Structure 1
Amino acid sequence: MFDFDGTIANSLDIAFHITNRLAKEFGYPTTSLEEFKQLKKLSSREILKQAKISVFVVPFLVKRFNAEFGQSIQQLPIFPGMRETLLELKQRGDWLGIVSTNSEKNIRSFLETQRLSDVFAQVVSSSRPFGKSRLIKKIVRQHGFASDALFYVGDETRDIEAARKSGIRAIAVTWGFNSAEALAAQQPDFLIHQPPDLLALTRPASASQTGDNRHFL
């Protein structure tokens, strides 16, 4: 299972501009580019605390953000190597899904633009940034998946938290929002630096019994 923003789609620039545009309306300070870079070193919860955004306001902010985001979806780039990696995972028979705080409408529009509509078996969305674990658990129950056969791939510390709460393994990626140091501090099961690493890391156990995945950490 994958996060969307910062993991599959390179939406960091768009997110930066939209977040600043909505600052006055939702009562938090705008962020300079240098400050934005510093935020990458903080955990998701630390960022919310520093911005002094009420947890009750966040779902409304997310919905408004997604509406603004949809206007730029056609220009949104995919991370280099991600499209090829997703197609390879699908071809070898892996089940792929997306769990995101972005809207399902935005995600499906992006997948269609990238000719990846048939790759993902399921796309689910939550307006609560820390509500992903509930959705992951629901998917596990729906399909009867074994938790040790699942990974959640994301670029933020809250993605690691969601995987841990769901009882599945967390793969943190360093090409998205949070820095490698911030991600490593949350102790994900794996930390990777480029999309093709997923192909070796998530290969069936029978194909990797003699390997050692620790070089990805």
Structure 2
Amino acid sequence: MSAPDRFPAGALFDLDGTLLDSAPDMLATVNRMRDARGREPLTLADIRPVVSRGARAMASVAFPELDADGVLALVPEFLAVYGEELGRHSAPFDGVEAMLTALDAAGTRWGIVTNKPEGLAQRIIPQLGWQARCAVLIGGDTLAERKPHPLPLLHAAEAIGLAPAACVYVGDDARDIEAARAAGMPSIVALWGYRLDSDDPVAWQGDVMIEQPVQLLAPGAWPVSA
């Protein structure tokens, strides 16, 4: 893919770990759960690598002695507490607001495709001032499938009136890049996001790897195939 001289027609983003540094909200959540059980608090370093992997992953880190069924049983409590902490401690990553402003100025239609429950995502978008700017929001429970299935990305592209190949998907997890590839959508690996030390972003085979959001102020940083 050659470097374009303009931004893509459509840009779709993962939320947690890509646009939003939500780890502080997640930390407050798990620490409330641990405090209720007489446990010492965790640190951001403890949970940051798994934030993009959802409630079960964070509950597993918070209570490592539990088996899969025990972790699953904590998910409703996690979501309830997280709903109270939502947006209280989190903020967009440095450079994200400038990037979105550049996309707006270029006429790029941008939206969010996340595995976070849609209701929670819908609540946080107004807190960020994005409700009038975000052209589509797909949550993990919006459709019958979630990432890494391509359906959410395909649905989002259709909702903003573009072919998948005319959009670029930006995410910080292997599931994001897998979903983009299956949807026929160029992808960007957000290296500033959350991942385990054992993760190998190169192996995900995204079209571009970007270190910081500010780099996406340059149209040439975006892969475009259509």
User: How far 1:114 sits from its partner (Å)?
Assistant: 2.4
Change (3 A) 1:164 1:93: same
**What does residue range 160-171 of structure 1 map to in structure 2 within 5 Å?**
160-171=177-188
DSSP 3-state at the match of 1:5: coil
User: How far 1:20 sits from its partner (Å)?
Assistant: 6.8
Take 2:175 and 2:113, find their aligned partners in 1: how far apart are those partners?
12
User: How far 1:32 sits from its partner (Å)?
Assistant: 7.4
Task: Answer yes or no: is the 8 Å Cα contact 1:87–1:119 preserved in 2.
Answer: no
* Aligned twin of 1:188: 206
* Alignment partner of 1:13 is 2:24: yes
Q: Deviations over 1:19-59 (max 9, x none)?
A: 57669xxxxxx98766646x56xx96xx96998647xx59x
What TM-score do the two structures reach when normalised by structure 1?
A: 0.70
Looking at secondary structure, tell me which structure has more helix per residue. 1
* Aligned twin of 1:177: 194
Task: Answer yes or no: is the 8 Å Cα contact 1:155–1:174 preserved in 2.
Answer: yes
* Aligned twin of 1:115: 129
* Matched positions, count: 195
Take 1:100 and 1:183, find their aligned partners in 2: how far apart are those partners?
19
**What does residue range 47-196 of structure 1 map to in structure 2 within 5 Å?**
53=68, 57=72, 61=75, 65-72=78-85, 73-127=87-141, 130=147, 133-178=150-195, 182-196=200-214
For structure 2, the residue ranges without an aligned partner over 5 or more in a row are 1-11, 35-40
Task: Answer yes or no: is the 8 Å Cα contact 1:2–1:154 preserved in 2.
Answer: yes
Task: Answer yes or no: is the 8 Å Cα contact 2:138–2:156 preserved in 1.
Answer: no
What TM-score do the two structures reach when normalised by structure 2?
A: 0.67
Change (3 A) 1:125 1:161: same
Take 2:92 and 2:83, find their aligned partners in 1: how far apart are those partners?
15
Among candidates 10, 15, 18, match of residue 4 of structure 1: 15
Amino acid of the residue matched to residue 186 of structure 1?
W
Bigger RCO of structures 1 and 2 (CA < 8 A, at least 6 apart):
2
Percent identity at matched positions?
26
DSSP 3-state at the match of 2:195: coil
Q: Deviations over 1:84-131 (max 9, x none)?
A: 211221121001111112233333333322222221011111147645
Change (3 A) 1:152 1:67: farther
Change (3 A) 1:108 1:133: same
Change (3 A) 1:19 1:83: same
Change (3 A) 1:117 1:195: same
User: How far 1:16 sits from its partner (Å)?
Assistant: 4.2
Take 1:148 and 1:203, find their aligned partners in 2: how far apart are those partners?
10
